[in-house]
A and B are shown apart, each in its own frame.
Chain A
Amino acid sequence: MKEKLLEMRKAFYKALEEVLTPAELDELRIYYLGKSGALKEILKQMGGLRKEDRPVMGELANELRDSMGEAMASKLKEFERMLLEKKIEEEKIDITLPGEKISMGRVHPTTKTIRELIDVFVRMGFSLEDGPEVESVYNNFDALNSPKDHPSRGLSDTFYFDASRVLRTHTSPVQIRTMKKMQPPIRMISVGRCFRNDEIDATHSPMFYQMEGLVVDEGISMADLKGTLEEFVRQLFGEETRSLFRPHNFPFTEPSAEVDITCFKCHGEGCRFCSGTGYIEILGCGMVHPSVLEECGIDSEKYTGFAFGMGLDRITMMRYEIDDIRYLYENDKRFLDQFRR
C-alpha cells in the first residue's frame, strides 16, 4: 500500500507540472483528492492492513493529502499572479497623455505684490489703514502742505468732481486721516488705488496702486527711516539688494528722498534693464514736514516721523518684467493665467 501511495504521489507531481490552466488544476484535484479520487481508492485498502501498520499508513496518507493540497494551492497562486501580470500588462497607459483639466484661480500680479508688502510691514509692526478713493482737496493737498499753486493740483494732473473733491492722487491722505484719528505712536501703511490725469501709454495709467507708510513717535529720525526702508528692500528684493537714498523734494516731507535699489537683474553692474545705471528707483520718502504734523494736531516739537510711498504697478512690472502697464488693467486671461498663486 505504501508503494501505491508513493507511486500516486509521483504521478501527481508529474501531472501537476503539466497543468496549464486553473480548470486543469481543478480536474487534477478531483482526480486525486476528490470523493472517489485516487487517494480515497487507495485508502479503501486500509482495512487489509495489520492493525499496527494502520496509524503509520494513515499518517502517511494525511501527509500526502496535505502536501498535494499545498502544492495545488501554490500552483493556483501562481496562476493568479500570472493572470494579474497579464492584466497589468494589458492595462499599461501612455502616462504622457495630459491630466484632466481642473483649474485653480490665479492671483492678479498687483495683488500678489500688495500681499507680500503687507506681510513685510505687518511683521514690522505696522497697521493697515484704509481710506476712500474719493477724497477732499483738503486731505489730498492742503493738509499735506502742498503749495496752493503746485502743478499737481491742476486739472491736467488731478481728477476733480467739484472744487473740493478729487480722486485721490496718492495714498497720502490716509496719513492725514490716521493722524487726525489718533495720537502717536503711529505706525501705519495704506494700500490702494490712486488716480492721475495721465494719458494711457506703456508707462502711464490714469489709475494705479500705491503703498504709503507713516511712523510718528518721539525720537524718530532719518536713521529710523533709512533702517526701516533698507529692511523692507532686503525682505522684498533679497538680502544682497542695496538701497541708495537720494535727496529729492516733496511738499509733505523735509528732508525728502528718493530711494534707488541696486538693479536685481545686474546687481548694480549696469544693464539694459536699469539703463546702465545699476540702480532702479522704487520709492519716495522723507521726514514728515512739521506743517503736516501741526495741521493734524500733533506737536511737531515732541513728535517726529517719517513717511514713504511707492507705486505698486511699477514694482509689479519690475518683478515680472512686464514692459507695458496696460497689461495690468486689460485683464486678458492669457496674461493673468501666468500668475500662479
Chain B
Amino acid sequence: MKASLSWLQDRVELPSINKNEMAMKLTLTGTKVEEIASVADKNTELIIGKVLKVEKHPEADRLVICSVDSGSETLQIVTGAPNVFEGALVVVAAHGTVLAGGVKIKNSELRGVVSQGMLCSLDELGYSSNVLPKGSTEGVIILDEGLVGESFFSYFGLDKGTLDLEITYNRPDCLSMMGIALEWATTFALPLKEEIPFDLESFTKGDLSIDRKEGCFAYYALEMQGVKIKPSPLAWQLRLMEMGLRPINNIVDATNLAMLYSGNPTHAFDRRQVQGGIIVEACKEPADFETLDGVVRKLQPGDLLIKDHEKTIGLAGIMGGENSQILDDSEDLIVEFANFDSTSIMNTSRRLGLRTEASSRFEKELEPERTLLAMAFFLKYLEGDYDWACLSGSHDKTQRKAVYLRQSRAENILGIRLELEDLEKIFEKLHFNYKRENGGVWVYPPSYRSDILREADLVEEVARIYGYQNIPSKLPSIPEPSNLTARQKFEWNLRDLLWGLGYEEMLNYSFVSPRSAASIHRDTQHPLILINPLGEEFSQMRHSLLISALDVLQRNENVKNEAVNFFEIGNVFEMKKDILQSQMLSLASYGQGYFFHLKGNLEELFCSLGIEVSYKRSEEAVYHSGRCADVFLGEERIGSFGELSPFIALERGMKKTVFLGEFSMDKLFELRNLGILHQAPSRYPAVVRDLALLVDKNLTQQEIYDKILSMGGQLLKKVELFDIYYGSELGESKKSMAYHCVFQSSERTLKDGEVEDTMAKILRGLEEIGAQRR
C-alpha cells in the first residue's frame, strides 16, 4: 500500500522529524515502511512559469519561441510542444537543472535561436510508465493552478514523498489513507483532523430498488445526472500517480481516489444500461459473463453478482461488466458503494485468476460503514461536475463484541509490569473506547477493527504501542541439558564419513517429473502425485533418490564437469494404504574409477558403521545387469549399487560411466554396530602361504573365499585375493586366482607342519568346487 504524505496531511500533521526516523517509528508500531520515494528526489528544482508570448521560430516550422516568466526573470525557451499558449502555466527546467535519468539542462541554441532551458512534460520527471496519463508525452505540462516562481514539487506537495507500506493480513483497515492516518496519529501521538462531513439523512433520497439478497452487507447506489466527463484537476492526477495509479478521467479518478482514501472500492455503471433496480445475489448456474476488460469469464454457482432486473451487470467486488461500463458519451451514472462477503469475493477472484484493486480489498473483512466514507469523499471530489444526484440503499450496522484485558495477562505475556493507567493510555492512543473494571480493562473495538476478537489481540495492541524495543530481554532458565537423539547423531556421523570418503552432498527437490521417475524402472505402481504441481516436471514425489541423482549427474556432464562424486540423504515417498515416507541415502558418481571403486568406498563405509554385509547380484533394472549388487546384512536387504544400465545411459545420452547406489537409512541405523571390543595383536609371528588356483571362469571370488575360510580353521586369520589372471595357456574357460593365506596364533609360534596340514585341507576343499592348485 502506498501512502502519499501530502495527502496524509489532509487528516493528520506530519511530525517534525526526518523521514528515516519517521519510517522507523511507523515500522516499530507495526506498519512496516518498505520505502520512501519521491519524484522530487529524482530531479533538481523545477519552477512554475508563465508563458508570456509565443512566437514562430524563423528557421523551424515545428518549433516555437516562448517568453516565460519564471518569477525572477524572463527566459527565452524554444520548444516543440504543440500545446503551449500565451498565458499557460508551465513547468520550467532552467539552466543547471538535472532531470530524472541524469539529463542536464543547459543554455543552448536551437536552429540559431538561444534557448534558456526547457519546458517539462510529465514523462520527463521519472514517473513509471504505468502511471502516466494518456497523452502525457505529446505536450508539456500545462498547470491548472500554481504560483509563478514557486517550486513545482512543493506547490503540489510532491516533495513530501510517498511511503510504500507493508500492511499485515490482520489489518485490512490500513489498506486506505484513512486507516494509515489513524495509525499515524497513534504512532506519533498527533490529533486527527476533522473527517469530511457527510449527512446521509439530508442527502436527496432516490427510489431505485435495491435488493441485497445475499453476501452483501451494504449497498448504496448514487444516481447522478448530467455528469461532465473530463480530465481531473492536475493536483489530483499527480496524487493518483503518487499512489501508483494512472489518471483516466474525473469519474474513474474519483472512484479510485475514494477507494484509496476510504479503502472501500466503488464502481460506476452507465445509467442507460441499468434496467429497473439493483439485485445482489449469488450465481445460480454456470454462465458466461464479459467483464469490462473484454474477457469472457466463466461464472460458477456461488459467485456474487450485481444484476439489474434483466441481466448481470457486474462481478461483485471484482470487476464491472462490459455491458454497463462508462463510455465517452455517458452522462447519467449509477455509482455503487457496497460491501460484500469477503470469502465469496476471494473464492471467485482466485478461481478466475482475476485479482483487482477492488477484490484485493474486498477479500478481507471491511465494515459496511466504510461505504459512507467512500461516498462522502467521492461526492466532495466531484462537486460541480454533475447536475443532480440522489441516493438509494442501506447498510448493516457492525456489531463488535467488547473484549476484556486482564492486567495480569498482559504482564504474563509481555514480561513487563503495566499499570491499568498505562493500558488505558495505550487504548486512548489507539482511539479505542474502554472501561476499567476490576483488574482489567474492557475494550470496545471500533467498527473498522475486525481483528480485535479476544484478549490476545489486545495484548498484541498493547505490545506494539508500548514498543517491542522497550520490552526487556532475558534468557529462560535451561531445565536440563539437551542432546540429539541417536538417530539424529547417526545422520550427521554418516555425513562425516561420506565427507571423508570424498563425497559431496547434494540437495534435490522432493518432487520429480513422471518421465524421470519412469526411467528408474522401479515399482512405480504407487506414485504419490500432487494435484496442483508447479508444472509437470515437479508433479510426482520421488520414490527413489536415484531419480534426482541421475538428473544431477546429467546436468553436471552437460556443463563438462570431469568427475563427480555425490551423495544425498533424503526422503522417498510411496502411496500405499497410507502415504509412506522413508529416509534414504544415495550415492552417485561418474569419472571416478569403476564398480570396485564404489564397492571399496561402501566397504569402508560399512566397516565404519560396524556392518558386515554380503552381496548378491541385483535384479534392479536401473543397473547394468552384470555389474550391480544387492547388499544384505544377514537376510535383510539394506540397499543396492552398481553401474547405470547402458539402456538408461543411452536414453539419456549420458557418455560417462555412471555408478549409483541407494540404501535405507532406517536399516543402516538399526543394523549398525558401534560396540568395539579391543583384541590384543598377537605377539607371535604370522605365517603367510600363497595359494594360486586354476578355476572355472564363472566361479565367483565369494565362493572360493568362503571355501578357503571355512576349511582354514581357527588359525587362518586372513584371506586376501591378490591376483586374477586370464591367459590362453590356462584355457578359454579358466582363470587363475591367487590368495595370501595368513596363519597366526595368539598363544604360540606356529609349526610348519600344522600350517602345511591346514593348507592341504584347504586344497581338498577347493577341489570340491573345481579349483586346482597351479
Q: Could you tell me which A residues sit within 8 Å of B by CB distance?
A: 102-108, 110-111, 115, 118, 122, 124-128, 130, 132-134, 148-151, 154-156, 159-162, 165, 167, 185, 187, 193, 195, 197-200, 206-207, 215, 217, 219-224, 226-228, 230-231, 244-249, 251, 254-258, 287, 289-291, 304, 328-334, 336-337, 341
A219 to B566, CA, bound (A): 48
- Further pairs besides A222-B463, A254-B457, A291-B456: 12, Cβ < 8 Å: A102-B502, A128-B484, A133-B571, A133-B581, A134-B573, A161-B531, A246-B27, A246-B32, A247-B464, A255-B414, A255-B460, A332-B559
Q: Of residues 128 to 181 in B, which have CB atoms within 8 Å of A's CB atoms?
A: 168-171
Contact of A336 among B457, B485, B502, B504 (CB under 8 A): B504
CB of A161 within 8 A of CB of B475, answer: no
Closest residue of chain A to B35 (Cβ to Cβ) is A275
**Chain A interface, DSSP helix/strand/loop, else mixed:** mixed
Given the complex, which residues of A lie within 8 Å of B561, measured CB to CB? 332-334
- B711 an interface residue at 8 Å Cβ cutoff? no
B58-76 vs A: 1/0 string, CB under 8 Å?
0000000000000000000
CB atoms of A224 and B505 under 8 A apart: no
- List 3 A-B pairs, minimum CB-CB distance, nearest first: A221-B415, A223-B415, A247-B30
Q: Is the CB of A228 within 8 A of B476?
A: yes
Contact A149 B510 (CB under 8 A): no
Is B769 positioned at the interface, with any CB of A under 8 Å from its CB?
no
A227:B474 contact, CB within 8 angstroms: yes
Residues of A within 8 A of B533 (CB): 159
B30:A106 contact, CB within 8 angstroms: no
Q: Which of A115, A247, A251 has the most CB atoms of chain B within a 10 A radius of its CB?
A: A247
Chain A residue nearest in CB terms to B483? A122
Which residue of chain A lies nearest to B168 when distances are taken between CB atoms in the complex?
Answer: A249
CB-defined A-B contacts under 8 Å, sample of 13: A105-B498, A105-B505, A106-B504, A106-B505, A127-B482, A154-B350, A193-B510, A223-B415, A226-B471, A244-B469, A249-B168, A256-B460, A334-B559
Across the interface, B492 reaches (CB within 8 A) one of A106, A115, A126, namely A115
Q: Which residue of A lies closest to B29 (CB)?
A: A247
Contact partners of B564 in chain A: CB under 8 A:
333
Determine how close the nearest CB of chain A comes to the CB of B601; give it in whole angstroms.
Answer: 11
Cβ A254 vs Cβ B552 within 8 A? no
In the complex, whether B245 has a CB less than 8 A from a CB of chain A is no
Q: Considering the complex, which residues of chain B in the window 495-526 have a beta carbon less than 8 Å from any beta carbon of chain A?
A: 495, 498-511
Tell me if B295 is interfacial: C-beta within 8 Å of chain A.
no
B343 proximal to A (CB < 8 A) = yes
A217 CB contacts on chain B under 8 angstroms: 476, 479
Q: Is B473 an interface residue (CB 8 A)?
A: yes
Whether A134 lies near B581 (C-beta < 8 A) is yes
Known: A223-B473, A224-B476. Contact between A107 and B495, CB under 8 A? Answer: yes
Residues of B within 8 A of A251 (CB): 169
Q: How far is the CB of B513 from chain A (nearest CB, A)?
A: 13
The answer to whether B500 touches A105 (Cβ under 8 A) is yes
B248 close to A (CB within 8 Å):
no
Mask of B339-376 contacts with A, CB within 8 angstroms, 1/0: 00011001100100000000000010000000000000
Q: Is the CB of B534 within 8 A of A199?
A: yes
- A255/B459 in contact, CB under 8 A: yes
B412 CB within 8 Å of chain A: yes
Contact in complex: A125, B482 (CB < 8 Å): yes
Q: Would you call B530 and A167 a contact (CB within 8 A)? A: yes
B216 at the interface (CB under 8 A from A): no
Query: Please, how many angstroms separate the alpha-carbon atoms of A329 and B287 in the complex?
Result: 44
Whether A247 contacts B471 by the Cβ 8 Å rule is: no
CA distance A102 to B333 in the complex (A): 81
B460/A254 in contact, CB under 8 A: yes
Knowing A128-B484, A222-B463, A333-B564, say if A161 contacts B529 (CB, 8 Å).
Answer: yes
Pick from B28, B456, B472: contact of A247, CB under 8 Å: B28
Interface contact B488-A331, CB-CB below 8 Å: no
Chain B residues with CB below 8 A from A154, complex form: 350
Could you say which interface size class chain B belongs to? 35 or more
Interface pair A160/B531, CB less than 8 Å apart = yes
With A133-B510, A223-B415 as known contacts, state yes or no: A333 contacts B556, CB within 8 Å: yes
CB distance from A263 to the nearest CB of B (A): 15
Cα of A193 to Cα of B30 in the assembled complex, Å: 29
Residues on B with C-beta less than 8 A from A102 are 502
Which residue in chain A gives the minimum CB-CB distance to B33? A277
B760 CB-CB contact with A under 8 Å = no
Shortest A224–chain B CB gap in Å is 4
Query: Is the CB–CB distance between A248 and B27 below 8 Å?
Result: no
In the complex, which residues of chain A have a beta carbon less than 8 angstroms from the beta carbon of B579? Answer: 134, 161, 165
CB-defined contacts of A160 to chain B, threshold 8 Å:
530-532
Contact check: which of B473, B479, B499 meets A105 at CB < 8 Å? B499
Chain A hits for B566, CB < 8 A: 331
B565 within 8 A of A: yes
Complex-state Cα separation, A83 to B620, whole angstroms: 64
Alpha-carbon gap, A159 to B573, bound state (A): 15
A133 to B579, CA, bound (A): 11
Contact with B507, one of A115, A124, A148, A331 (Cβ below 8 angstroms): A331
Report B94-131 residues with CB < 8 Å from chain A CB. none
The answer for the CA separation of A215 and B474 in the assembled complex, in Å, is 14
In the complex, the answer to whether B456 meets A254 with C-beta atoms within 8 Å is yes
Residues of chain A lying within 8 A (CB to CB) of residue B485:
128
* In contact, A105 and B503 (Cβ under 8 angstroms): yes
Task: Flag if B475 contacts A228 (CB, 8 Å).
Answer: yes
Residues of A within 8 A of B342 (CB): 149
Q: Which residues of B contact A132 (CB under 8 A)?
A: 581
Check A304/B469 contact, CB under 8 A, given A134-B581, A217-B476, A333-B556: no
A104-B499 contact, Cβ under 8 Å, with A134-B573, A227-B473, A337-B504: yes
Tell me if B481 is interfacial: C-beta within 8 Å of chain A. yes
Please name all residues of chain B whose beta carbon is closer than 8 Å to the beta carbon of A156 when the two chains form the complex: 350, 532
* Cα–Cα distance between A35 and B480 once the two chains are bound (Å): 89
A125 touches B481 (CB 8 A): yes
Query: Cβ of A328 and Cβ of B529 under 8 Å apart?
Result: no
Q: Does B674 contact A (CB under 8 A)?
A: no
- A-side contacts of B499, CB under 8 Å: 104-107, 341
Name B522-567 residues within 8 Å CB distance of A. Answer: 528-534, 538, 541, 552, 555-556, 559, 561, 564-567
> In the complex where A118-B484, A128-B484, A151-B346 touch, is A227 in contact with B502 (Cβ < 8 A)?
no
Q: Chain A's nearest CB lies how many Å from the CB of B617?
A: 29
Given the complex of chains A and B, what is the CA–CA distance between A110 and B511 in angstroms?
A: 19
Q: Is there a chain A Cβ closer than 8 Å to B413's Cβ?
A: yes
Verify A249–B170 contact, CB threshold 8 A: yes
Nearest A residue to B583 via CB reads A130
In the complex the two chains form, what is the Cα distance from A156 to B498 in whole Å? 39
Taking the nearest CB of chain B, how far is it from the CB of A21, in angstroms? 44
Task: Give chain A nearest CB distance to B578 CB in angstroms.
Answer: 10
In the complex the two chains form, what is the Cα distance from A195 to B573 in whole Å? 15
Q: How far is the CA of A219 from the CA of B492 in the complex (A)?
A: 35
> How far is it, in angstroms, between the C-alpha of A219 and the C-alpha of B159 when the chains are bound?
50
Tell me the minimal C-beta distance from A63 to chain B in angstroms.
49
Give the complex CA separation of A105 and B479 in angstroms.
38
Question: Which one of B169, B363, B505, B559 has the highest number of Cβ atoms from chain A below 10 Å of its Cβ?
Answer: B505
Question: Which of chain B's residues have a CB closer than 8 A to the CB of A290?
Answer: 454-456
B468 at the interface (CB under 8 A from A): yes
Q: Contacting B28 at CB < 8 Å: which of A193, A246, A328, A341? A: A246
Give complex CA distance A160, B508 in Å: 20
B436-495 interface with A by 8 A CB criterion: 454-457, 459-460, 463-464, 468-469, 471-476, 478-485, 488, 492, 495
Q: Which residues of A contact B414 (CB under 8 A)?
A: 221-223, 255
Contact call A207/B510, Cβ cutoff below 8 A? yes
Q: Which residues of A contact B481 (CB under 8 A)?
A: 125
List residues of chain B with CB within 8 A of the CB of A133.
510, 571, 573, 581
Known contacts A200-B534, A331-B508, A334-B559: does B468 contact A245 (CB below 8 Å)?
Answer: yes
Known contacts A207-B509, A222-B415; is-contact A245 B469 (Cβ 8 Å): yes
> What's the minimum C-beta distance from B687 to chain A, rounded to whole angstroms?
35
Instruction: List residues of chain A with CB within 8 A of the CB of B482.
Output: 122, 124-127, 187
B699, CB-defined interface residue at 8 Å: no
